Each structure stands twice: as C-alpha cells, then as structure tokens.
Structure 1
Amino acid sequence: MSTQMIKRLIIATALTGTLASAAAAEELRFTVWTGSEAHLAMLNGIAESFTETHPDVTVQFDTIPFGDYVQKLTLQLAGGNPPDLGWLLESSAPAFVNAGVLENVSDTLTAADDYNYADFSEPAMGLWTKGDAVYGIPFSTSPFLIYFNKTLYDEAGLETPAERAADGTWTWEQLKSDAAALRNADAGVWGYETVDGQGYGARVMHSLMPIVRAYGGEAWTDGACTLDSPEAAEAVQLFHDMVYADQSTVPPGEQGDFFSGNAALTMTQISRVTKLADVGFDWGIAPLPSGPAGEASTVGQAAVVAFAQGKNKEVAAEFLAHMTSAENVAKMAEFFPPARISVLESDAFLSSNPAVTPEQMEIVAAGIEGGSVLPSHERYPQIEAASRPDFDALWAADADVPAVLARLCDDIDPLLK
C-alpha cells in the first residue's frame, strides 16, 4: 500500500473509534517474520529478561510469513488491531516513517541507562531517523552470502567458492558455470536456488540486486529507474540464462531446497545457518561473487519499531530500548549482524555463533563494512506493485530481457519522481 493509503486507513479507523485508547496492558504484541525455533527462543529469552524491571509485562511474538508481512501488518494497523512492536524491512522504512505510523522513541532511548545511542553506525541509522526523531533501531544489518554444498563440490572435483574467493577467481560467471556443472536432474539436485526460494516474487530484488551491482548497475538513482541500463540488463540476462538456457537454477513454480541437499548453491544471510544444524552434508560460506564492476556487497537491513497506534506505547518503547541494548544486541548477533559498532568490532562477534567459524564471520563483517543496503523508497509498496507484472513477464524462456526492463522502468519512473 502507498503512504497515502496507509494514512487514510489509519485516519478513518481513528474517526470511527476503532483504535483502542492507550492502556497499561500487561502483554506486548510483537510481529516478526521468523518461525525459526532458535530465533524465537533467543527472542523469548530477551523478553524474559525484561520482566526483571517490568514484572507485570509479557511479550508475545507473532509470526507473519515474510511474503505476507507488510500487507498483513498494514491491515492490522488500519483495522484497529495494531501490534505494539514489530520488525520492519529497509524497503518499507520510508513509507512507514512518512505515514506517521511509527512511534518516535528518541526520548526513551536518551533516558535509558547506559544505552549509548552513539554506538550505532550513523549510515545504518539513515533510514530510521528524521531530524532528531528516531523511528526504529536496526537489529540486523546482514550482508547476503553464498552458501554452498561442499560435499557436492568435492564429489565433482571443483574448487569451492571459498577457495575461489581466496584466490580471486570467485565471480558471477564462475557461479553460473559451477551451477551448471553441479546440476543433477536424475538425483533431483539443482545447481542454484534463489533467496529462500522466493526469488521470483517476494524476494526478487534480493535475488537480482547483488548481481546488478556487481555488474555496475543500480535499481534507481536521483529519482529515475536505472534497471534498464546496459549493465543491469547484462546482469539480469546472466541470471535469466542460468534459469532457462542452462536450466541449472530452480525455476518459478519448482521446489529445490538447499538446506535439504536439493541445491548446490544458494544466496542468503547468516540467520539461515540455523537450518543447517542437522543436514547430512558438509557446507561452507563464501562472499558474494564479484563482477565486471568488482565486489559489490549487498546488505539487507531490518529494524525494531514501535507503532504509534499501539495500546502500550510507553512500555513498547522501553522494550525496544531493552532489546537493542549492547547486551542484547550481542545476543542477537549470533544470527543478526549488528549495527552497534562496539559489538560488530568485538572478538565476541566473530565467535558468537558456534556453527560458524570466526573466519566465516569475518566474511559477514567485511560484507557489512563494504556493503550497500537494498533499494528503498517512500513509494516502495506502489513501486513493487507496478513492477510485479514486468517481473512476471521476465520469467519466460523467450523473454527479451532488455525490453522487459525498459518497460519496467517506464512503469515505475513516475513513482520515483
């Protein structure tokens, strides 16, 4: 939904009296998009520690599937059933900030003991502040990585992505070649799987932007779409060829789960390492491949926010401060790379996840340091809706990639200005 639609819906429900008045309820409702038992156990542990100073408060974490998250959250806000807190992606930040649906928590953070707001990276806070107001605190500033099935690489006698990254030969062209070589249709093994298997829908930008940036392209700059540039078109063509010419990549409508051993490579973030706990193969982590424009790390960011229509705004802001304290950010760093400089630069961060070696966590830290956050815009929901038919047209074997991208830019340019 657009920023204006969000505003209108919330104003309408306020006028009809459906928004509950502020009350000192004992339960905070917190929306997330994870269903991971490890993630939820960690979050519940942080919530339990909050009761030491707030014994009458409990926190309920409600999981909304990622693909439905923004739509369902917006409907909750508009329908008079707002959560108190939630996670929010970088792409949604400008729309939600400008719609006035996020609570300014700056005073609460300033008043919190030993909070040290200055410890947060200033660039990481860019999407979540407006003047002196603070509308969210990033809990995850996580670069995209390549996970690979080392067992399949060893059986094929191929140099692994980690080895190639070390010797400077890890490129998107090499990943394309590896995916084709490792595809085994008889065994039901794909060469490559998109981010969470959602690379043609909810995560299309997550899947394409790392390649586009490695080829020197960008989604939009200075109020104009640039996905139709020669650089971007070349990058998208490479991915399209992986899907249709090589038939090495899980195509739209097919299933191929890296974490079940059904794909040799995938692009994802460090939080997904929980899904590798009991796999029956050796695995490894590598940075994103380089391209003609060199290395181009892409970072996905998400923040903890409190909602202005929540029933327990004061307590919600206090929980936000508690959750993003240095101590709790260090706990979350196991899965969610932090924006707190002191935690990110600590030796403890490199050993925070027992399933990941310090050397692999150094890849994460380097990706944050040199990375760029995924594209965002005040009208991102409208941009996403306008571009969807064009992206759908892209996923056909005979698609004219440059022509589709040119049409896409024609469709979203008015929204970018």
Structure 2
Amino acid sequence: MLRRGCWRTALARGLATGLLLSGMLWSAQDAEARKVTLEGWDYVKERVDLYQKKADEYHKLHPDVEIKFTTVPFGEYFSKILTSMAGGSPPDMFIHHPSQVSSFEGMLSPFPKDLFPLDKMDDNLAFTAGFVVNGEFYLYPVGLLSALVFYNKDLWEEAGMGNVPQTWAELRTAARKLTQKDGGVLKVAGFSFAKEIKYLWPDLNYQMGGYLFNEKKTGVTWDTPEGQKAIDLIDAMLRDGISDLPNHLLDFAAGKAAMEYGWGWKRVGYSKVKGLRWDVFQLPTTDGDNFPARARSAVALGFSVPYNVPAADKAETFKFLQWLYSSDDFLVQLNELMGTVPTRRSLWSHSTILKDNVFRTTVKQLPYTVLPGEFPSWVESILDEMQTAITVKGVAARLALKQAQEKGDAWLKKEPAGWVIERVTRPRK
C-alpha cells in the first residue's frame, strides 16, 4: 500500500504525464491544422517543373506550406478553371493568358497592396494604368515579346549581303536578292512571312499609326487609311514573289528561307537545330524611325488568384507569389524558358539578357511597341481568314481587309471588347 505522501507524488506524476501527452496530442493537431496545401495550374509542363522546384524551396523555408503544381492541357485549360470556380473548388492560382482576360472579369482576387504596393511596380514596363482597375490590379505581367526578323547567316554571307535592313524598302531589295528559284519554283524564300500575315498586319497597322479598336471599343479600326497602307505593303511583298505560301511552305530551320518574320519565342526551337547559323534584327519601318510604333508587343502573364479561394489559402498564396516574383534569378530563368524578356526593366542588363541577341534586340525594340492588352482569339481567327483569302483564295488584299472589318464589327455587336489598353501603351516621343 502506498503511503499518503507517495500516493500524492504518484498522482502528481500521473497528472503531469497525462497533461504532457495531452499537450503533445493537441500540439500535433494544431500543427496539422496549421498546414496549408496549395495547388497551382499551368498549361506548359516545362514551366510547371520550374514552379515545382521553386515551391519545394519555399516549403523548406515554410514547412507548413506545401504547393503542388499541375499541367492541364491548353485545349481544356480555361474551361476547366471556370468549371472549378463555379463548383467552388478552384486552384489557388493559375497562369493567365492575355487572350482570356475578359472571360475572368470580376472573378479574380486583387493583389494585396501590402505585398505588392503599386508604387513599386514602376520598374515593370508592361505594368501600366491599363492594369489598374479602381486602384486594384488582378494580373501580374512577367514577360514581354514582339516580332523580329530572323535571318540565316550562311545564306546572308553567301549572297554578299551587308548591313541588315532598316526600312521595308531595303528589306524587299535584300529579299529579292536572297530569293532562289528553279524553273519558276521557289526553292529558298528571301523573306518568309505569308503564313504569318495575321500577326504581321497588326504590327504594320501600328507602324502606320493605326489601332485595332475604336476609342469606345464598339468597332474595329482595320479598314482605315492606316490599315490599308499596312495591307498594301503586304500585298506588294507578296507580288515580289519573295515569300513561300501556306500551300507551299519552306522551313527556315532547314535553310529554305533566308529571312523569316517571327516572334521571339522561336529562339527556343532554333537554338536546338544543329548546324543552323542564325541571327535577328528589329522589324523595319517605312522610314527607319521608331514612331508612331515599331511593332505590337504581347505580354506573358503570371499567376492570378480566383476570387473564391478560401481566405487563409488565399493569404498564403499571395505570400508565396510575393516571394516568387521577388527573385530576379527566377524571373530571368522563367523568361529564358519562354523566349520572352522580363517585364522588370532592371533585369534588362542581366548577363543572360545581354549575351542573347534575341533578348538584346527585343529589349531595344520593346519601348517602341504597342501592347494592345487582350488580343482575343476571335481577332486572330478573323485575321487568319483574311490571310487565307489573300494567299490561298486569291481575294484582293483591300477587299479581304474590308471583309475582315465587317466581321470584326459584327462580332463586337454580340461581344463587346474587354481589356483594351493600346492607346495607353502607344509609345510617346
């Protein structure tokens, strides 16, 4: 039998042990409750791999936060996001796309100003007043790109070419010299562009001082004096016989085109082609000047956060994004992967940017480009139809432009234009 003092000691020890075990249990439960699992979606696997690597680094710094990134096929990407939002279980973050901005109007969370103060965004070239809605912003631009002229250095040197063209007249002269035909059959295109008219025409329209939409966004402004000058130049180059056509394509990577119109992301593929010696130069203009503009630019958007993500998860998501986008090395690595230039101008002097001529040339051109904002898929589709009408069906260029104008106006009657910022981003002298 325990004596009274021993009994009290045993009881005290038992209570202490029980409290300790109880405390350990509650601590484990609290720790488990504090753990947050976040999910992010993208449609490009290579980017997902990079994000996951960064998420794993973040987890080491913040063990209570786990982040899983998933690749969703582009064909079902946006419909799946909208469906998940409607069902109340969206991803915590998803990579946005400039062609889909209107589809998510009113459905995104604003970036918190304590983590992303507006006055700190001045270094971001793409971040203009067009991104701010009632003092808030919902889209985070991470990269920019524009069209350039790629050229084959071997073909260039064999033809005894000198400096790269500064004007369209100079380019046409060079292209005629570089074009190779055999019995009237095009073997080497001097300047391959006909398969990209749907993208080249907006560049030229901006060069001539035009816009894609009227100020009220109730109609397109394509069949205008500026738009007609742009399509006339395209028509003249087609008549030069310097380009391959959609029904007879020639491959730049195989040395079948001396020059090619193309967006900067093409560097990713061409850099992997063995034996292909190539370089780039800025888009020419009619007089070699940068104004009214040199080209259209496009923005690569980063993550957006759905409005109905739970508050606690949303807070952790924005903390992660603030950490992620504060890393200069990450932004450079991401843009190198995408073939774009960081929107953060302070990174334009980064060694990775300076050593790559596509990036250096893009940086030189970007300040003189127009960022239209949203470039809707229906705009691309109508301009693609215009391209086919001209290059395949033989429709006169001016008539094809007029038909495109009519289709664009008809579309806007049923679906008004959304995020349009082209007048805000027009370069100023």
Fold similarity call, TM over 0.5: yes
- The residue that corresponds to 1:85 in the other structure is 93
Determine the structure 2 residue equivalent to 1:140.
Answer: 143
- C-alpha change, 1:188 and 1:217, in structure 2 (3 Å) is same
Rate the CA distance shift 1:253–1:279 in 2: closer, same or farther, 3 A. Answer: same
Mapped to 1, the partners of 2:53 and 2:319 lie a distance apart of 16
Counterpart AA for 1:257: D
The alpha-carbon deviation at position 289 of structure 1 amounts to 0.7
Asked whether the equivalents of residues 147 and 262 of structure 2 are also in contact (C-alpha less than 8 Å), the reply is yes
CA 1:118–1:212 in 2, change beyond 3 Å: closer, same or farther?
A: closer
Q: How does 1:91-240 map to 2 (within 5 A)?
A: 91-93=99-101, 95-98=102-105, 100-107=106-113, 109-110=115-116, 117-121=120-124, 124-159=127-162, 163-164=163-164, 169-184=165-180, 188-194=187-193, 199=196, 204=198, 206-222=199-215, 223=217, 224-240=219-235
Structure 2 CA distance for aligned equivalents of residues 24 and 154 of structure 1: 62
Partner of 1:57: 66
Under a length normalisation based on structure 1, what TM-score does the superposition of the two structures give?
0.72
The structure-2 alpha-carbon separation of the partners of 1:386 and 1:262, relative to structure 1 and needing over 3 Å to count, comes to closer
**CA displacement, residues 137-194 of structure 1 (integer Å, 9 cap, x when unaligned):** 11112232222111111111122xxx23xxxx52223333433433345695433345
- Listed as ranges, the matches of 1:311-330 within 5 Å are 313-327=314-328, 328-330=330-332
CA contact 1:387–1:411 (8 Å) conserved in 2: no
TM-score (structure 2 length as normaliser)? 0.70
Could you tell me how far 1:91 is from its partner in structure 2?
Answer: 4.1
The correspondence for 1:298, drawn from 290, 296, 299, is 296
Q: CA deviation at 1:288?
A: 1.1
How far is the alpha carbon of 1:274 from its aligned partner? Answer: 2.7
CA 1:240/1:73 → structure 2, altered by over 3 Å: closer, same or farther? farther
Secondary structure of 2:155 counterpart: helix
Q: Which moved more, 1:176-185 or 1:140-149?
A: 176-185
> How much identity, in percent, do the aligned residues show?
18
Classify the secondary structure of the residue corresponding to 2:171.
Answer: helix
Q: For the aligned residues, what is the CA RMSD?
A: 3.6
Look up the equivalent residue of 2:222 and give its one-letter code.
L
Aligned-residue offset at 1:105:
2.1
Cα deviation, residue 318, structure 1 = 3.4
CA gap 1:170/1:40 in 2 versus in 1, 3 angstroms = farther
Question: Which stretches of structure 1, 4 residues or longer, exceed 6 Å deviation after superposition?
Answer: none
Does the aligned pair in 1 maintain the 2:221–2:405 contact within 8 Å? yes
Match of 1:284 in 2: 279
Structure 2 distance, partners of 1:42, 1:354, is: 22
CA contact (8 A) 2:109 2:138 kept: yes
Report the 3-state secondary structure (helix = DSSP H, G, I; strand = E; otherwise coil) of the residue aligned with 2:352.
coil
1:78 aligns to what SS in structure 2?
helix
**Is the Cα contact below 8 Å between 2:210 and 2:221 reproduced in 1?**
yes
Letter in 1 for 2:112: S
Looking at CA atoms only, which structure, 1 or 2, has the larger radius of gyration? 2
Is the partner of 2:244 in helix, strand or coil?
A: coil
Letter of the aligned partner of 1:266 in structure 2?
Answer: E
Aligned position for 1:76: 80
| Shift in CA distance, 322/127, structure 1 to aligned 2, threshold 3 Å | farther
Report the Cα offset of residue 384 of structure 1: 5.0
Deviation at 1:208, TM superposition (A): 1.9
Aligned to 2:356: 356
Deviation string, structure 1 residues 38-93 (Cα, Å, up to 9, x no partner): x666555434433333445244352645xx5xxx3331123338554343343433
Partner residue in 2 for 1:410: 406
Contact 1:136 1:303 in 2 (8 A): yes
Other-structure match for 2:365: 367
Deviation at 1:233, TM superposition (A): 1.9
C-alpha distance in structure 2 between counterparts of 1:83 and 1:191, whole Å: 48
Give the aligned partner of residue 424 of structure 2: none
1:252 positional shift: 2.4
Residue in 1 that maps onto 2:5: none
Q: Which moved more, 1:41-50 or 1:124-133?
A: 41-50
* Structure 1 unaligned blocks of 5 or more: 1-22
Instruction: Extract unaligned runs of 5+ from structure 2.
Output: 1-33, 418-429
